[in-house]
Amino acid sequence: MVDSSAAGAALVTTRHLVKVFGKTRALDDVSIEVNAGETFGLIGPNGSGKTTLIRTLLGIAAPTSGEALLLGQRMPNRAVSRQVGYMSQASVLYSDLSVQENLAFFGALYGLRGKRLAQRIGETLELVDLADRRGVAVGVLSGGMRQRISLAAALIHQPRVLFLDEPTVGIDPELRLEFWDYFARLNQQGVTIMVSTHTLEEATRCHRLALLRFGKLIALDTPAALLAASGQQDFDHAFLYYARRDASADAAGAARPLAQQ
């Protein structure tokens, strides 16, 4: 176990994080802290660096410069990865295996076995309302169901921190609401959540939001404070306000390379 209590309440920390792919600065000097028990939203259009930020934090991508810490540790770190859950954009499952077999595989990767594994499979399927689909091959399930199984697989080992990369992309409004209810329930159980989305109406359900544009952090605050400071009525306009402010700052600085475009 990694002792994160000594490092204060921040479970996720980035300091001046930069990630460069070729000529693209996917992350440009991003510094954030996510506290225990928070639901932290990453907001921004496609290509703004949300996925890269999550992948860098998880240790799938290495930072070009700066620091990315999970539970106070640099990733990859096996002790930390045991306490972290990850659900990526697409439903990441083996379509030729049954729901039960998929969850059993991911559970076993985290050291779950026997009764404990069976219990966790039951609990997570209960949470996503798919307890009756255990024996069905994942390949024949609908997209929405697969997305729910993906979430169950990310939760199988009871992570302390959960990374959700656009978990509601491409699913119908009803299921989207259900998903946010799941997230709220998990958050109440003490799970810290970092969730990315480009659906701004989901933003209000987060405790705090980080707004990303071309890899840069352009604003970071609670949803209410972000709205108030922008003087706008809704998040679409609020985001535009911060984007324009950032763009004019760029123009004034005029030193930034255009490589991000």
Partner 1 sequence: MFASIRRTLALAIRIVRQFVRDKRTLALLFLAPLLIMTLLNFVLGSSGSNSLTLAVVPPPGLGHDAIQQAISKGLAKAKGVQVIYIDADQVDAKLRAGDANAALIFPPDFVSATSVGAQPSVTLRLDGSNPPAAEQAKTLVTFALVSLNRSAGAQPGDPSAAPVALHTSYLYGGPQYTQTDALAPLFIGLFAFFFVFLLASVAFLRERSQGTLERILVSPLSRTELTLGYVLGFMLFATLQSLVILGFVIYVLRVHYAGNLWLLFLVTLALTIGGVNMGIFASAFARNELQVIQFIPLLIVPQALLGGLFFPVNTLPVVLKQLAYIMPLTWANFALRDVMLKGLGFSDIWPDLAFLVGFAILMVVISAISLRQERA
Residue 147 near partner 1 by CB under 8 A:
no
Stretches 9-17, 96-104, 185-193, 207-215: which one binds partner 1 (CB under 8 A)?
Answer: 96-104
12 lies in the binding site for partner 1 (CB under 8 A): no
In this complex, which beta carbon is closest to partner 1, that of residue 57 or of residue 219? Answer: 57
Q: Select from 7, 15, 35, 101 the one that contacts partner 1 (CB under 8 A).
A: 101
Closest CB 255 distance from partner 1, rounded Å: 28
118-137 footprint of partner 1 as x/- string (CB under 8 A): -------------------x
Q: Which of 17, 42, 61, 243 binds partner 1 (CB under 8 A)?
A: 61
Applying CB under 8 A, the span of 39-47, 104-112, 179-187, 226-234 interacting with partner 1 comes to: 104-112
User: Candidates 89-97, 203-211, 218-226, 253-261 — which segment interacts with partner 1 by CB under 8 A?
Assistant: 89-97
Q: In the complex with partner 1, which residue's Cβ is closer, 113 or 237?
A: 113
Please state the closest distance from residue 168 (CB atom) to partner 1, in A: 17
Please give, one letter per residue, the 3-state secondary structure of the chain: CCCCHHHCCEEEEEEEEEEEECCEEEEEEEEEEEECCCEEEEECCCCCCHHHHHHHHHCCCCCCEEEEEECCEECCCHHHHCCEEEECCCCCCCCCCEHHHHHHHHHHHCCCCHHHHHHHHHHHHHHCCCHHHCCCEHHHCCHHHHHHHHHHHHHCCCCCEEEEECCCCCCCHHHHHHHHHHHHHHHHCCCEEEEEECCHHHHHHCCEEEEEECCEEEEEECHHHHHHHHCCCCHHHHHHHHHHHHHHHHHHHCCCCHHHC
Residues that bind partner 1 (CB under 8 A): 21, 55, 58-62, 76, 78, 81-82, 84, 86, 88, 90, 92-94, 96-97, 101, 104-106, 108-111, 113, 137, 153
